[in-house]
Structure 1
Amino acid sequence: MTATAAFGDAPGAWPLLGHLPQLAGRPLAFLDALPAHGDVVRRVA
């Protein structure tokens, strides 16, 4: 059995801060929204 993963980009990263503002303000809402962008999500600057 071969597993495949959908890769996506997490929007909204700030220069130098990354996703820290989203994680500091509403961490659960930010983390809950990530699966909509793919199985494995990377940051987009």
Structure 2
Amino acid sequence: MTLKQIPLHHIHQQLGAKIMPFAGYEMPVRYSSDLDEHHAVRNAV
């Protein structure tokens, strides 16, 4: 099965997104590691 790409797919790739299949599309799931996300939330909230 061929996955579809969302309209801004190339921009997400340029920004370093991790792309995963979801509902028939290649979707950006995250841009950094779990640890980076954890620290960002802990320091900003």
Q: Does TM, normalized by the shorter one, top 0.5?
A: no
Larger Rg: 2
Structure (1 or 2) with the greater strand fraction? 2
TM-score (norm: length of structure 2):
0.20
